[in-house]
Amino acid sequence: MGFVLKVMGFLGWALLSLIAIVPVVAARHRPWSHSKKVNISEEDLVTELAGQPKVEFSHYAGYVTVNEKHGRALFYWFYEASSHPEEKPLVLWLNGGPGCSSVGYGATQEIGPFTVDTDGSGLKLNPYSWNRAKDTYIFLHKWFNKFPTYRHRSFYIAGESYAGKYVPELAELIYDMNKHPSLHINLKGFLLGNPETSDADDWRGMVDYAWSHAVISDETHKIIKESCNFDKGDPWSNDSCSQAVDELLNQYKEIDIYSLYTSVCTNSTSSNDGSMQVMYNSKSKMMPRIMGGYDPCLDDYAKTFYNRPDVQKALHVSDDLHLKNWSICNYKIFREWSESRPSIVPIYKKLIAAGLRIWVYSGDTDGRVPVLSTRYSLGALELPITRAWRPWYHQKQVGGWFQEYEGLTFATFRGAGHAVPTFKPSESLALFASFLAGESMPSER
Protein backbone atom coordinates (compact mmCIF):
# COMPACT_ATOMS: atom_id res chain seq x y z
CA MET A 1 0.00 0.00 0.00
CA GLY A 2 1.38 3.38 0.85
CA PHE A 3 1.98 5.93 3.54
CA VAL A 4 -0.56 7.54 5.82
CA LEU A 5 -0.40 11.05 7.22
CA LYS A 6 -2.64 12.07 10.08
CA VAL A 7 -2.97 15.76 10.77
CA MET A 8 -4.66 17.07 13.83
CA GLY A 9 -6.08 20.39 12.89
CA PHE A 10 -8.69 22.92 13.86
CA LEU A 11 -11.30 20.97 11.95
CA GLY A 12 -10.35 17.64 13.33
CA TRP A 13 -7.38 15.37 13.42
CA ALA A 14 -5.66 13.96 10.43
CA LEU A 15 -3.34 11.10 9.67
CA LEU A 16 -0.72 11.12 6.91
CA SER A 17 0.74 7.92 5.63
CA LEU A 18 2.50 6.17 2.74
CA ILE A 19 0.42 4.26 1.82
CA ALA A 20 1.74 6.76 3.91
CA ILE A 21 -1.12 7.76 6.23
CA VAL A 22 -1.02 11.16 7.87
CA PRO A 23 -3.53 12.13 10.54
CA VAL A 24 -3.85 15.85 11.11
CA VAL A 25 -4.64 16.81 14.64
CA ALA A 26 -6.18 19.81 16.29
CA ALA A 27 -4.58 23.15 15.93
CA ARG A 28 -2.24 24.09 18.66
CA HIS A 29 -1.15 27.58 19.57
CA ARG A 30 2.55 27.48 20.36
CA PRO A 31 4.59 30.23 22.04
CA TRP A 32 6.27 32.05 19.16
CA SER A 33 9.61 32.08 21.00
CA HIS A 34 9.57 28.27 21.03
CA SER A 35 8.81 27.83 17.32
CA LYS A 36 11.26 25.73 15.38
CA LYS A 37 12.30 26.42 11.80
CA VAL A 38 14.31 23.30 11.11
CA ASN A 39 12.98 21.52 8.02
CA ILE A 40 14.65 18.22 8.75
CA SER A 41 12.28 15.32 9.09
CA GLU A 42 14.64 13.32 11.31
CA GLU A 43 13.95 15.67 14.23
CA ASP A 44 10.37 14.33 14.21
CA LEU A 45 11.36 10.65 14.10
CA VAL A 46 9.50 8.70 16.81
CA THR A 47 11.98 6.43 18.58
CA GLU A 48 10.76 5.68 22.12
CA LEU A 49 6.98 5.37 22.04
CA ALA A 50 5.83 3.56 25.18
CA GLY A 51 4.81 -0.04 24.59
CA GLN A 52 5.42 0.06 20.85
CA PRO A 53 5.94 -3.38 19.28
CA LYS A 54 8.93 -3.86 17.01
CA VAL A 55 8.18 -2.65 13.49
CA GLU A 56 10.06 -2.48 10.19
CA PHE A 57 8.83 0.99 9.20
CA SER A 58 9.65 4.49 10.44
CA HIS A 59 7.10 6.95 11.74
CA TYR A 60 7.30 10.65 12.50
CA ALA A 61 5.26 13.08 14.59
CA GLY A 62 5.42 16.77 15.28
CA TYR A 63 4.10 20.21 14.42
CA VAL A 64 3.97 22.28 11.27
CA THR A 65 3.34 26.00 11.77
CA VAL A 66 0.52 27.26 9.54
CA ASN A 67 0.15 30.79 10.93
CA GLU A 68 3.38 32.39 12.10
CA LYS A 69 1.74 35.61 13.29
CA HIS A 70 -0.44 33.78 15.80
CA GLY A 71 1.90 30.83 16.34
CA ARG A 72 -0.78 28.36 15.20
CA ALA A 73 0.43 24.90 14.23
CA LEU A 74 -1.03 21.56 13.19
CA PHE A 75 0.17 18.29 14.64
CA TYR A 76 0.75 15.32 12.34
CA TRP A 77 1.67 11.66 12.70
CA PHE A 78 3.21 10.09 9.63
CA TYR A 79 3.68 6.35 9.06
CA GLU A 80 5.78 5.00 6.23
CA ALA A 81 4.59 1.97 4.35
CA SER A 82 5.65 -1.34 5.85
CA SER A 83 7.30 -2.37 2.56
CA HIS A 84 8.80 -0.49 -0.40
CA PRO A 85 7.88 2.96 0.94
CA GLU A 86 9.72 4.63 -1.92
CA GLU A 87 7.10 3.30 -4.36
CA LYS A 88 3.88 4.09 -2.51
CA PRO A 89 1.31 6.91 -2.80
CA LEU A 90 0.59 9.33 0.00
CA VAL A 91 -2.76 9.43 1.82
CA LEU A 92 -4.07 12.07 4.21
CA TRP A 93 -6.65 10.78 6.72
CA LEU A 94 -9.10 13.11 8.49
CA ASN A 95 -11.68 12.26 11.12
CA GLY A 96 -14.82 14.25 11.75
CA GLY A 97 -16.51 15.79 14.73
CA PRO A 98 -15.95 18.62 13.96
CA GLY A 99 -13.03 18.89 16.35
CA CYS A 100 -12.33 15.18 16.94
CA SER A 101 -8.93 13.56 16.80
CA SER A 102 -7.63 11.57 13.85
CA VAL A 103 -5.08 10.19 16.31
CA GLY A 104 -7.64 9.22 18.94
CA TYR A 105 -9.96 7.70 16.35
CA GLY A 106 -8.29 6.98 13.00
CA ALA A 107 -4.79 6.19 14.21
CA THR A 108 -5.76 4.39 17.40
CA GLN A 109 -9.06 2.67 16.64
CA GLU A 110 -9.28 2.30 12.88
CA ILE A 111 -6.52 2.43 10.26
CA GLY A 112 -3.25 3.14 12.10
CA PRO A 113 -0.52 0.53 12.69
CA PHE A 114 -1.03 0.48 16.47
CA THR A 115 -4.03 0.05 18.76
CA VAL A 116 -4.03 0.90 22.46
CA ASP A 117 -4.26 -1.82 25.10
CA THR A 118 -7.44 -1.81 27.19
CA ASP A 119 -5.61 -0.47 30.23
CA GLY A 120 -4.00 2.34 28.26
CA SER A 121 -0.52 1.16 29.18
CA GLY A 122 0.87 0.21 25.79
CA LEU A 123 0.33 -0.62 22.14
CA LYS A 124 -0.26 -3.64 19.97
CA LEU A 125 0.04 -4.07 16.23
CA ASN A 126 -3.02 -3.62 14.02
CA PRO A 127 -2.75 -6.30 11.30
CA TYR A 128 -5.13 -4.34 9.08
CA SER A 129 -3.40 -0.94 9.23
CA TRP A 130 -3.73 1.30 6.19
CA ASN A 131 0.15 1.82 6.56
CA ARG A 132 -9.76 24.36 8.39
CA ALA A 133 -9.17 23.86 4.88
CA LYS A 134 -6.81 26.81 4.24
CA ASP A 135 -4.72 25.86 7.30
CA THR A 136 -4.61 22.27 6.08
CA TYR A 137 -3.52 23.40 2.63
CA ILE A 138 -0.73 25.51 4.12
CA PHE A 139 0.17 22.54 6.29
CA LEU A 140 0.53 20.31 3.22
CA HIS A 141 2.86 22.77 1.50
CA LYS A 142 5.08 23.05 4.56
CA TRP A 143 4.92 19.32 5.21
CA PHE A 144 6.18 18.62 1.70
CA ASN A 145 9.07 21.00 2.42
CA LYS A 146 9.82 18.96 5.53
CA PHE A 147 9.59 15.68 3.56
CA PRO A 148 10.68 16.76 0.04
CA THR A 149 11.09 13.23 -1.30
CA TYR A 150 7.29 12.87 -1.28
CA ARG A 151 6.49 16.02 -3.29
CA HIS A 152 5.71 14.19 -6.50
CA ARG A 153 3.94 11.15 -5.08
CA SER A 154 0.35 10.42 -6.01
CA PHE A 155 -1.72 12.02 -3.26
CA TYR A 156 -5.13 10.97 -1.93
CA ILE A 157 -7.33 12.25 0.87
CA ALA A 158 -9.50 9.95 2.96
CA GLY A 159 -11.82 10.47 5.90
CA GLU A 160 -15.17 9.76 7.45
CA SER A 161 -18.22 11.38 9.04
CA TYR A 162 -17.99 15.19 9.18
CA ALA A 163 -14.86 14.95 7.04
CA GLY A 164 -17.41 14.40 4.28
CA LYS A 165 -17.73 18.17 4.31
CA TYR A 166 -14.12 19.33 4.52
CA VAL A 167 -12.31 16.61 2.56
CA PRO A 168 -14.07 17.63 -0.69
CA GLU A 169 -13.51 21.29 0.23
CA LEU A 170 -9.78 20.64 0.69
CA ALA A 171 -9.67 18.64 -2.56
CA GLU A 172 -11.34 21.54 -4.37
CA LEU A 173 -8.84 24.00 -2.89
CA ILE A 174 -5.88 21.86 -3.97
CA TYR A 175 -7.38 21.47 -7.45
CA ASP A 176 -7.89 25.23 -7.80
CA MET A 177 -4.48 26.15 -6.38
CA ASN A 178 -2.73 23.68 -8.68
CA LYS A 179 -3.65 26.04 -11.54
CA HIS A 180 -1.28 28.65 -10.09
CA PRO A 181 2.53 28.61 -10.28
CA SER A 182 3.12 27.36 -6.76
CA LEU A 183 3.89 23.98 -5.25
CA HIS A 184 1.92 21.40 -7.20
CA ILE A 185 0.23 18.66 -5.19
CA ASN A 186 -0.33 15.54 -7.26
CA LEU A 187 -3.93 15.02 -6.11
CA LYS A 188 -5.54 11.93 -7.62
CA GLY A 189 -8.78 11.57 -5.66
CA PHE A 190 -10.52 11.08 -2.33
CA LEU A 191 -12.25 8.33 -0.36
CA LEU A 192 -15.04 8.98 2.16
CA GLY A 193 -16.83 6.74 4.65
CA ASN A 194 -20.34 7.44 6.03
CA PRO A 195 -19.86 11.10 5.08
CA GLU A 196 -22.04 14.07 5.82
CA THR A 197 -22.77 15.41 2.34
CA SER A 198 -26.03 17.33 2.04
CA ASP A 199 -27.81 18.48 5.19
CA ALA A 200 -31.32 18.06 3.77
CA ASP A 201 -30.64 14.56 2.40
CA ASP A 202 -28.68 13.60 5.51
CA TRP A 203 -31.71 14.51 7.62
CA ARG A 204 -34.14 12.64 5.38
CA GLY A 205 -31.94 9.58 5.39
CA MET A 206 -31.47 9.68 9.16
CA VAL A 207 -35.26 9.83 9.70
CA ASP A 208 -36.14 7.14 7.18
CA TYR A 209 -33.39 4.86 8.45
CA ALA A 210 -34.54 5.22 12.07
CA TRP A 211 -38.09 4.34 11.04
CA SER A 212 -37.10 1.44 8.76
CA HIS A 213 -34.94 -0.01 11.56
CA ALA A 214 -37.65 0.27 14.22
CA VAL A 215 -35.96 3.01 16.25
CA ILE A 216 -38.96 5.34 15.97
CA SER A 217 -42.67 4.66 15.63
CA ASP A 218 -44.88 4.98 12.56
CA GLU A 219 -46.53 7.97 14.21
CA THR A 220 -43.26 9.85 14.82
CA HIS A 221 -42.12 9.12 11.28
CA LYS A 222 -45.40 10.41 9.86
CA ILE A 223 -45.23 13.65 11.85
CA ILE A 224 -41.69 14.33 10.66
CA LYS A 225 -42.59 13.62 7.04
CA GLU A 226 -45.62 15.93 7.20
CA SER A 227 -44.26 18.81 9.30
CA CYS A 228 -40.49 19.06 8.62
CA ASN A 229 -39.03 20.84 5.63
CA PHE A 230 -35.37 19.86 5.74
CA ASP A 231 -34.60 21.84 2.60
CA LYS A 232 -35.00 24.98 4.71
CA GLY A 233 -32.29 23.68 7.02
CA ASP A 234 -34.02 24.06 10.39
CA PRO A 235 -35.93 21.07 11.83
CA TRP A 236 -36.92 23.16 14.84
CA SER A 237 -38.80 25.75 12.81
CA ASN A 238 -42.20 24.55 14.07
CA ASP A 239 -43.33 22.77 17.21
CA SER A 240 -44.60 19.58 15.56
CA CYS A 241 -41.37 18.99 13.67
CA SER A 242 -39.23 19.96 16.66
CA GLN A 243 -40.97 17.57 19.05
CA ALA A 244 -40.84 14.67 16.60
CA VAL A 245 -37.15 15.19 15.82
CA ASP A 246 -36.40 15.43 19.54
CA GLU A 247 -38.19 12.10 19.99
CA LEU A 248 -35.94 10.54 17.35
CA LEU A 249 -32.80 11.86 19.04
CA ASN A 250 -34.04 10.75 22.47
CA GLN A 251 -34.55 7.19 21.23
CA TYR A 252 -31.00 7.14 19.91
CA LYS A 253 -29.72 8.10 23.36
CA GLU A 254 -30.78 4.62 24.51
CA ILE A 255 -28.47 2.80 22.09
CA ASP A 256 -25.30 3.52 20.13
CA ILE A 257 -26.44 5.61 17.16
CA TYR A 258 -23.18 4.72 15.41
CA SER A 259 -23.75 0.97 15.71
CA LEU A 260 -27.36 -0.08 16.13
CA TYR A 261 -26.78 -3.71 17.01
CA THR A 262 -23.83 -3.66 19.40
CA SER A 263 -23.75 -3.07 23.13
CA VAL A 264 -22.87 0.28 24.66
CA CYS A 265 -20.06 0.72 27.17
CA THR A 266 -21.67 0.84 30.62
CA ASN A 267 -18.51 1.52 32.64
CA SER A 268 -17.04 4.38 30.64
CA THR A 269 -15.19 7.02 32.63
CA SER A 270 -16.16 9.44 29.89
CA SER A 271 -19.89 9.18 30.52
CA ASN A 272 -20.24 12.94 30.85
CA ASP A 273 -18.94 13.49 27.33
CA GLY A 274 -19.69 10.10 25.82
CA SER A 275 -20.90 9.08 22.42
CA MET A 276 -24.58 9.80 23.05
CA GLN A 277 -24.11 13.47 23.80
CA VAL A 278 -26.30 15.42 21.38
CA MET A 279 -25.56 19.07 20.71
CA TYR A 280 -27.84 21.39 18.80
CA ASN A 281 -29.95 24.43 19.40
CA SER A 282 -32.97 26.03 17.84
CA LYS A 283 -30.86 28.67 16.09
CA SER A 284 -28.54 26.17 14.43
CA LYS A 285 -28.84 25.44 10.72
CA MET A 286 -26.61 22.38 10.99
CA MET A 287 -27.24 18.73 11.58
CA PRO A 288 -27.07 17.96 15.32
CA ARG A 289 -23.61 17.02 16.47
CA ILE A 290 -23.50 13.68 18.24
CA MET A 291 -20.16 12.82 19.77
CA GLY A 292 -18.16 9.66 19.72
CA GLY A 293 -18.38 6.40 17.82
CA TYR A 294 -18.35 2.66 18.26
CA ASP A 295 -17.68 1.49 21.81
CA PRO A 296 -17.06 4.57 23.98
CA CYS A 297 -14.71 2.39 26.04
CA LEU A 298 -12.19 2.60 23.19
CA ASP A 299 -12.12 6.34 23.72
CA ASP A 300 -11.15 5.80 27.36
CA TYR A 301 -8.16 3.63 26.41
CA ALA A 302 -6.89 6.30 24.01
CA LYS A 303 -7.40 9.09 26.55
CA THR A 304 -5.35 7.22 29.17
CA PHE A 305 -2.53 6.47 26.75
CA TYR A 306 -2.17 9.89 25.12
CA ASN A 307 -2.26 11.73 28.46
CA ARG A 308 0.92 9.94 29.55
CA PRO A 309 3.89 12.36 29.68
CA ASP A 310 6.27 9.80 28.17
CA VAL A 311 3.93 9.23 25.21
CA GLN A 312 3.58 12.96 24.59
CA LYS A 313 7.35 13.36 24.74
CA ALA A 314 7.91 10.49 22.29
CA LEU A 315 5.48 12.06 19.82
CA HIS A 316 7.13 15.49 20.16
CA VAL A 317 3.82 16.93 21.25
CA SER A 318 4.53 19.26 24.10
CA ASP A 319 8.03 20.75 23.95
CA ASP A 320 8.73 18.86 27.19
CA LEU A 321 5.66 20.44 28.83
CA HIS A 322 3.06 17.89 29.84
CA LEU A 323 -0.27 18.68 28.19
CA LYS A 324 -2.89 17.68 30.75
CA ASN A 325 -6.42 16.50 30.12
CA TRP A 326 -6.10 15.70 26.42
CA SER A 327 -9.45 14.48 25.15
CA ILE A 328 -10.42 12.69 21.99
CA CYS A 329 -12.64 15.58 20.88
CA ASN A 330 -12.33 19.31 21.37
CA TYR A 331 -15.72 20.19 22.82
CA LYS A 332 -15.31 23.93 22.42
CA ILE A 333 -14.84 23.52 18.68
CA PHE A 334 -17.60 20.93 18.64
CA ARG A 335 -20.15 23.15 20.38
CA GLU A 336 -19.30 26.36 18.57
CA TRP A 337 -18.72 25.05 15.06
CA SER A 338 -20.84 26.93 12.55
CA GLU A 339 -18.88 26.96 9.29
CA SER A 340 -20.60 24.39 7.16
CA ARG A 341 -21.86 24.39 3.61
CA PRO A 342 -25.35 22.90 3.50
CA SER A 343 -24.33 20.69 0.57
CA ILE A 344 -21.06 19.46 -0.93
CA VAL A 345 -22.81 18.07 -4.02
CA PRO A 346 -21.63 20.96 -6.26
CA ILE A 347 -18.01 20.17 -5.34
CA TYR A 348 -18.58 16.53 -6.29
CA LYS A 349 -19.83 17.62 -9.71
CA LYS A 350 -16.82 19.89 -10.22
CA LEU A 351 -14.21 17.33 -9.21
CA ILE A 352 -15.88 14.48 -11.08
CA ALA A 353 -15.68 16.64 -14.21
CA ALA A 354 -12.00 17.22 -13.40
CA GLY A 355 -11.36 13.47 -13.50
CA LEU A 356 -10.53 12.83 -9.85
CA ARG A 357 -11.11 9.34 -8.46
CA ILE A 358 -13.98 9.53 -5.96
CA TRP A 359 -15.19 6.61 -3.86
CA VAL A 360 -17.81 6.70 -1.11
CA TYR A 361 -18.66 3.85 1.26
CA SER A 362 -21.22 3.26 4.01
CA GLY A 363 -21.38 0.91 6.96
CA ASP A 364 -25.01 -0.21 6.88
CA THR A 365 -25.66 -0.34 10.65
CA ASP A 366 -24.83 3.32 11.27
CA GLY A 367 -27.76 5.52 12.30
CA ARG A 368 -25.83 8.80 12.45
CA VAL A 369 -24.97 9.18 8.75
CA PRO A 370 -26.81 6.11 7.49
CA VAL A 371 -26.56 4.48 4.12
CA LEU A 372 -29.89 6.06 3.13
CA SER A 373 -28.49 9.56 3.68
CA THR A 374 -25.58 8.81 1.39
CA ARG A 375 -27.79 7.24 -1.27
CA TYR A 376 -30.12 10.24 -1.23
CA SER A 377 -27.18 12.68 -1.47
CA LEU A 378 -25.43 10.83 -4.28
CA GLY A 379 -28.74 10.46 -6.10
CA ALA A 380 -28.79 14.24 -6.49
CA LEU A 381 -25.75 13.94 -8.77
CA GLU A 382 -27.85 12.02 -11.33
CA LEU A 383 -24.78 10.21 -12.63
CA PRO A 384 -25.10 7.58 -15.37
CA ILE A 385 -24.61 4.03 -14.05
CA THR A 386 -21.72 2.14 -15.62
CA ARG A 387 -21.93 -1.03 -13.49
CA ALA A 388 -25.17 -2.02 -11.81
CA TRP A 389 -25.75 -2.77 -8.13
CA ARG A 390 -24.17 -6.07 -7.13
CA PRO A 391 -22.45 -7.72 -4.15
CA TRP A 392 -18.73 -7.54 -3.58
CA TYR A 393 -16.84 -10.36 -1.89
CA HIS A 394 -14.08 -10.76 0.64
CA GLN A 395 -12.74 -14.14 1.65
CA LYS A 396 -15.65 -15.75 -0.24
CA GLN A 397 -18.27 -13.88 1.80
CA VAL A 398 -20.43 -10.92 0.81
CA GLY A 399 -18.69 -7.83 2.17
CA GLY A 400 -21.43 -5.52 0.97
CA TRP A 401 -22.81 -4.14 -2.27
CA PHE A 402 -21.49 -1.61 -4.76
CA GLN A 403 -22.44 0.37 -7.83
CA GLU A 404 -20.24 2.25 -10.26
CA TYR A 405 -21.17 5.54 -11.90
CA GLU A 406 -19.40 7.78 -14.35
CA GLY A 407 -16.81 9.34 -12.05
CA LEU A 408 -17.82 7.76 -8.73
CA THR A 409 -18.00 4.40 -6.97
CA PHE A 410 -20.35 3.72 -4.05
CA ALA A 411 -19.98 0.67 -1.80
CA THR A 412 -21.64 -0.60 1.36
CA PHE A 413 -20.20 -2.68 4.21
CA ARG A 414 -22.52 -5.36 5.49
CA GLY A 415 -22.83 -5.24 9.28
CA ALA A 416 -20.50 -2.27 9.85
CA GLY A 417 -21.24 0.82 11.92
CA HIS A 418 -20.11 4.40 11.48
CA ALA A 419 -16.34 3.87 11.77
CA VAL A 420 -16.12 1.05 9.25
CA PRO A 421 -12.45 0.03 9.77
CA THR A 422 -13.24 -0.60 13.46
CA PHE A 423 -15.94 -3.12 12.56
CA LYS A 424 -14.58 -4.59 9.34
CA PRO A 425 -10.79 -4.11 9.34
CA SER A 426 -9.92 -6.77 6.79
CA GLU A 427 -12.74 -5.83 4.43
CA SER A 428 -11.98 -2.11 4.67
CA LEU A 429 -8.32 -2.74 3.90
CA ALA A 430 -9.42 -4.66 0.78
CA LEU A 431 -11.58 -1.73 -0.33
CA PHE A 432 -8.74 0.69 0.31
CA ALA A 433 -6.39 -1.39 -1.82
CA SER A 434 -8.91 -1.47 -4.66
CA PHE A 435 -9.38 2.30 -4.42
CA LEU A 436 -5.65 3.03 -4.64
CA ALA A 437 -5.26 0.59 -7.54
CA GLY A 438 -8.23 2.06 -9.40
CA GLU A 439 -9.81 -1.38 -9.61
CA SER A 440 -13.41 -2.49 -9.09
CA MET A 441 -14.40 -4.32 -5.95
CA PRO A 442 -14.18 -8.12 -6.42
CA SER A 443 -17.61 -9.26 -7.65
CA GLU A 444 -16.95 -13.01 -7.66
CA ARG A 445 -16.39 -15.36 -4.73
- Per-residue pLDDT at 58: 83
Angstrom distance (rounded) from CA 378 to CA 383:
8
Instruction: Examine residue 20 and say whether the peptide bond preceding it is cis (omega within 30 degrees of 0).
Output: yes
Q: State whether CATH 3.40.50.11320 applies to domain 356-437.
A: yes
- Per-residue pLDDT at 61: 84
Angstrom distance (rounded) from CA 223 to CA 331:
32
Q: With 0.85 as the threshold, say if the pTM is over it.
A: no
First to last CA, the chain: 23
Residues known to be catalytic: 161, 366, 418
- Same fold: 3-188 with 356-437: yes
Domain extent listing, the chain: 3-188, 356-437
How many alpha carbons fall within 13 Å on the CB side of residue 130? Answer: 42
Ranges of residues in the chain with a pLDDT under 50 are: 1, 6-40, 104, 106, 130, 132, 269-284, 286, 289-294
- Per-residue pLDDT at 74: 79
Cβ-based neighbour number of residue 219 at 10 Å: 10
Angstrom distance (rounded) from CA 70 to CA 47:
30
User: What one-character-per-residue DSSP string does 204-268 give?
Assistant: HHHHHHHHHTTSS-HHHHHHHHHH--GGGT-TTSSHHHHHHHHHHHHHHTTS-TT-TTSPPPSS-
Query: Regarding the domain delimited by 3-188, which CATH topology (the fold level of the hierarchy) does it fall under?
Result: Rossmann fold (3.40.50)
